[in-house]
């Protein structure tokens, strides 16, 4: 009874970890497309093709439900995959929904007109591909009015995290926050719009200041997944759990173990 979780690399482990904590009775099959990471600097067509290939592999491994634990893939590929159709009995979901639900305090299925929300000034930190897609702003506009979103493309952060260079990653975070604040001096909330970024949440919070509420996706996605499975128990697949990567299993395992502080062993996809 495995749920598939896909990411271009290791950032999705933040979602996996939260999901395992929230739903300890479930198995999860994690797929890291490490050979092609990072996705954030690729064009939309490339991201779509890579994402579709990985999701098909997870479906083939027995996962009825696949979570795109990658904001770049969610922004560039999810809508197209859903519009083109998925196999009967299969589903693919992204990570934007729980985040926007939390920010707007309304359920995704609430189709009432957009309304004002408490937070008016939002900083969005994301990969270049997510920022250029404007997917977050588009989905937010369907549900809220009067919200000013200032997006900052955080080039280099994912690469530094994937390489295990957390000192460089922290320096890049401070630089990107400074750049954002030059455009929006007093954000009320900050969205960590990449599942790698929760690994640097303390650095983001320190650079932004204690008065800024930082939204991180792991726990939000895990709670949303629990609710979804309670309403759709048929979406539990018959595959087993584990960790797959298109990269070097040994080096990916080492970095994953470092990130989660517990032994993680990847196999070749």
Convert the pLDDT of each residue in 69-126 to its tens digit. 999 999 999 999 999 999 999 999 999 888 888 888 887 667 788 889 999 999 999 9
β-pair type (148-153, 242-245)? unpaired
Pair 28, 1: CB distance under 8 Å:
no
Q: Which residues have a Cβ under 8 Å from the Cβ of 211 and sit 6 or more positions away?
A: none
Check whether 234 has a pLDDT greater than 90.
no
Catalytic residues: 70, 194
Quick: pLDDT tens for 171-195.
Answer: 999 999 999 999 999 999 999 999 9
CATH number of 2-96+218-268: 3.40.50.1860
- Fold for 103-216, please state it: Rossmann fold (3.40.50)
DSSP string covering 212-268, please? SEEE-HHHHHHHHHHHHHHH-GGG--S---EEEESS-HHHHHHHHHHHHTS----EE
Q: What pTM was computed for the model?
A: 0.90
From-to residues of CATH 3.40.50.1860 in the chain: 2-96+218-268, 103-216
CB 192 within 8 A of CB 217: yes
Write out the two tokens for 208. 């932004």
Instruction: List the one residue out of 28, 25, 21, 24 whose CA is nearest residue 3.
Output: 28
Is the pLDDT at 1 greater than 70, yes or no?
A: no
Give the whole-angstrom CA distance, residue 185 versus residue 103. 20
Calpha distance 163→141 (Å, rounded): 36
In whole angstroms, give the CA distance from residue 189 to residue 213: 5
Confidence of residue 156 (pLDDT cuts 50, 70, 90): very high
């Amino acid at each position: 009874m495995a749920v598939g979780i896909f990411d271009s690399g290791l950032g999705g482990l933040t979602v996996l970890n939260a999901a395992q904590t929230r739903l300890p009775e479930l198995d999860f099959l994690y797929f890291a497309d490490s050979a092609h990471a990072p996705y954030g600097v690729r064009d939309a067509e490339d991201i779509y093709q890579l994402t579709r290939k990985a999701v098909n592999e997870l479906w083939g491994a027995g996962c009825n439900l696949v979570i795109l634990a990658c904001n770049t893939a969610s922004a560039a590929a999810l809508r197209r995959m859903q519009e083109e159709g998925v196999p009967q009995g299969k589903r693919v979901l992204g990570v934007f929904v729980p985040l926007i639900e939390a920010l707007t305090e309304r359920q995704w299925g609430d189709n009432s007109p957009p309304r004002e929300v408490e937070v008016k000034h939002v900083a969005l930190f994301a990969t270049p591909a997510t920022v250029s897609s404007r997917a977050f702003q588009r989905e937010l506009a369907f549900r809220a009015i009067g919200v000013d979103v200032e997006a900052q493309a955080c080039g280099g952060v994912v690469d530094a995290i994937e390489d295990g260079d957390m000192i460089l990653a922290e320096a890049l975070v401070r630089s990107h926050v400074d750049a954002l604040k030059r455009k929006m001096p007093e954000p009320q909330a900050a969205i960590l719009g990449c599942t790698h970024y929760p690994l640097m949440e303390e650095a983001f919070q320190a650079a932004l200041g204690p008065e800024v509420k930082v939204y991180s996706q792991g726990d939000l996605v895990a709670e949303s997944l629990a609710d979804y499975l309670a309403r759709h128990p048929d979406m539990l697949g018959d595959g087993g759990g584990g960790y797959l990567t298109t990269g070097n299993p040994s080096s990916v395992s080492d970095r994953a173990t470092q990130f989660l502080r517990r032994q993680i062993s990847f196999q070749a996809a």
